[in-house]
Chain A
Amino acid sequence: MASATDRFFARFEGTGTPYPLAIFRVAFFVGVALHFFPSLITLDDAYRRGALRSDEWSHWLYLRFDDLGPGTLRLMSIVTMLACVCGAIGLRTRVAAIVAGLGVYSFASFNGLPVQTLALVNTWAIFLLWGLVGGGSGALSVDAWASRETPVEPRLLPGLILAQTLIGVFFAGIEKLLAGWPFVNEMGVLLSYPKGFLLRDWVTQVGLLHHPLVTRTFTWFTIVVEVGAPPLLLWKRTRLAALIAYEAFFLGIIAMLEVPPLFYCMFAFGALLALDDDDVSALVARSRALRSRFGK
């Protein structure tokens, strides 16, 4: 029988189905592209000489910005965008992650204004992990198509990305508890914001969403999911229920609040890495059964 230590590390060792990480890879790099490409394409707006800038990441890079000419910046932006595309299609994913990570980190350091800071905290962690560990091209990738080997994926990278994601969600819940969320109906404040601020327009128009009963329910749902889902996703018996609640929560966030798509891509797809080989096989079998039942 495996020791407790071996059971703990099992999620990070050996190999498994490559599909959850492949789906995450596509979502993550597409999210990074949606987040950064607008400012990398319209480079002369936020990254022109004399532009108003905000120092939020590397102070050293922030200071170096003035030494770079427009040609260098344009070259950096093109290389960064190409690396993001290579990451999304799974072409030399590890190199793509290193180049894309360094590129977007540099641009975010040059000026934090065109990219929302808090969506990026987890992004740096994932790029760092990808560069250190490698992987992610086991399926749905150019590399996999070219090599024609049976697709498997070492568990180290998906295990670490999952840990990073769940720690982020769990401590976001802890921060809310410490901020006194259960007693102040903070979602009531958030959902009462006027049109043109942080809410999607449709949310400001649906009166039911501003009722104290509804907002208090959202407040508690947020705390329960953020604190409860991370541990429950790791336990096989509760995984599916936790995953449904977790996905509904992040779908609710992106549907109601103006948060960057990158935020959704990282957190919603990150939880799929909790699925093990048995879960994926069961889901595939269930979807096949459903399709045959409806005659497709």
Chain B
Amino acid sequence: MKVKPRARGIIGSVTDRRVLVVAWIALSVLGAMNHTIAEKLFGQRFDLVLPHLKYGHVMFNKNLRVVQTYEYAGPDGVRHDLVELVRTPSIGYRHARLAINVLLKRDYLRELCYRAYGARKEELSFFVTEYQVDVDPRTPSQTKTLVCGAHGLRDR
């Protein structure tokens, strides 16, 4: 029976492959160090052009001490998870995505309000509950109510 490797990439000779391996590993290590050691040594990060070298390898290394959870209620006053108003599903991480989106863009709540009011044409209340997890992770330190209506999202 004929045995033939199925892959035929652009990397032909042994030397080409070895150069690719060394270059790839060196770049990956350089990219990782760009976000750790370079920042400490040079006080800045360098643009390494390739997209996978842009943000370093961060996985929960520094966690927020003050966090917020989000709910909303319609005219009946029953509270629901605010993620229910997000039209694009996110499989397996819907709360995390909402929280990160609000962190990245404070206007994200306004956007949700705009979309929700446009679809429902009824006033909603948004509840933002804040926790200081290193003080008391179970008791909210602050709760803020926002009104989502025809004039956008505003403080109550």
Q: Is A235 an interface residue (CB 8 A)?
A: no
Q: B20 — which chain A residues lie within 8 A by C-beta?
A: 132-133, 156, 160
Q: Which of A150-203 contact B (CB under 8 A)?
A: 150-154, 156-157, 159-160, 163-164, 167-172, 174-176, 178-179, 181, 186, 189-190, 192-198
Question: What are 20 sample pairs from A and B whose C-beta atoms fall under 8 A apart?
Answer: A117-B55, A123-B52, A132-B20, A133-B7, A134-B8, A149-B1, A150-B1, A156-B17, A159-B21, A167-B25, A171-B29, A181-B61, A192-B133, A193-B137, A194-B69, A196-B69, A196-B81, A197-B68, A258-B94, A261-B92
List B contacts of A42 (CB < 8 A). Answer: 87-89
* The residue from A116, A132, A181 contacting B93, defined by CB atoms under 8 A apart: A116
Bound complex: CA A42 to CA B115 (Å): 14
Contact B24 A164 (CB under 8 A): yes
Contact A34 B28, beta carbon cutoff 8 Å: no
> Which residues from A are CB-within-8-Å of B8?
134
Give the interface size class of chain A. 35 or more
Quick check: is B70 within 8 A (CB to CB) of the other chain? yes
Bound Cα distance A15, B92 (Å): 37
With a CB–CB cut-off of 8 A, which chain A residues contact B101? 54, 113
State whether A144 touches B96 (Cβ < 8 A).
no
**Would you call B56 and A125 a contact (CB within 8 A)?**
no
Report if A9-B104 is in contact (Cβ < 8 Å); known contacts: A51-B111, A114-B88, A259-B96: no
Residues on A lying within 8 angstroms of B by beta carbon are 9, 12-13, 15, 18, 34-35, 38-39, 42, 45-46, 51-52, 54, 57-58, 94, 105, 112-114, 116-118, 121-125, 128-129, 132-138, 143-144, 147, 149-154, 156-157, 159-160, 163-164, 167-172, 174-176, 178-179, 181, 186, 189-190, 192-198, 210, 226, 254, 257-261
Asked if B100 contacts A116 (CB within 8 A), the reply is yes
The interface residues of chain B lying within 8 Å CB-to-CB of A118 are: 55, 58-59
Q: Are B81 and A149 in contact (CB under 8 A)?
A: no
- B142 sits at the interface (CB 8 A): no
Question: Considering residues B33, B59, B138, which has the most beta carbons from chain A within 10 angstroms of its beta carbon?
Answer: B59
Residues of B within 8 A of A210 (CB): 137
Say whether A175 contacts B18, CB under 8 Å.
no
| B97 touching A116, Cβ below 8 Å | yes
Q: Does B60 contact A (CB under 8 A)?
A: yes
CB distance from B99 to the nearest CB of A (A): 6
Taken together as a complex, chains A and B put the C-alpha atoms of A128 and B100 apart, in Å, by: 27
Q: Is B4 an interface residue (CB 8 A)?
A: yes
A94/B21 in contact, CB under 8 A? no
Binary flags per residue of B99-125, CB closer than 8 Å to A gives 1, else 0: 111001101101100010000000000
